[in-house]
Amino acid sequence: MKKLFTFCSVVLSFTIYSQNIQTELFLNENQIEEAFKSDSRIEKLFTQNSKDSILIIAEIKNDSLFSIYVKNNGQKDIQLIPQDNKLTLIQEALTQDKKWKPIEFWINSDCGMSYLKEIKVKSGEIIGLRSKKYKGNFKTKIRFKLLIDKKVYYSNSITASINKSKFEKSIWYKRFKEMYYPDKTESEVENILFLNK
């Protein structure tokens, strides 16, 4: 309960102090699209011959959003338990020296109410999500990193522009680290918040 209250306080502070998500590392806020229906155009995006059980395709939806399509490429149906209608997902971008680095982080909720919904994804089925698209003066590649059942999956990469400051650990990253993981090393916290299994 104390952590939930603290989390709400941090979110309130975020609103009061107008945190700038265009320039600062912050939480991913993806949303599963309830009314999403796949079509032949989307199905054709998954043409690569992959043995991965989960496939992800991302594309630019508009100036401020990405569309993300997640396909169950396995032979069996899977059960997903989203957190507040979100999948465990962050964006990464290529740095100037061509290394993938997170520009968002993920926080697991302590609230049981966050996990009331379960989604059954049939074999071959595609679900749709949306996630924020950032703007900036650094042209780079963006990809999405998804964690399901302790396994990481990556989307295709997309050309986009961000602010280089998105690569730096923000005050928000540090606040959540102190609140949730005060006894863990920096490396352990990075593994959790950046979805390194």
Closest to 73 in 3D by CA, of 94, 45, 108, 97: 45
For residues 58 and 68, is the Cβ–Cβ distance under 8 A? yes
- 107 is written with which tokens? 């926080």
Q: What is the pLDDT of residue 19?
A: 63
Q: Tell me what pLDDT residue 116 has.
A: 84
Contact in structure between 69 and 127 (CB atoms under 8 Å): yes
- Look up residue 103 and give its DSSP letter: S
Q: Which residue has the tokens 């928000």?
A: 172
pLDDT tens, the chain, 197 aa long: 445 444 554 554 444 345 688 899 999 999 999 999 999 999 999 987 788 899 999 999 999 999 999 999 999 999 999 999 999 999 999 999 999 999 999 998 888 788 888 999 999 999 999 999 999 999 999 999 999 999 999 999 999 999 999 999 999 999 999 999 999 999 999 999 999 97
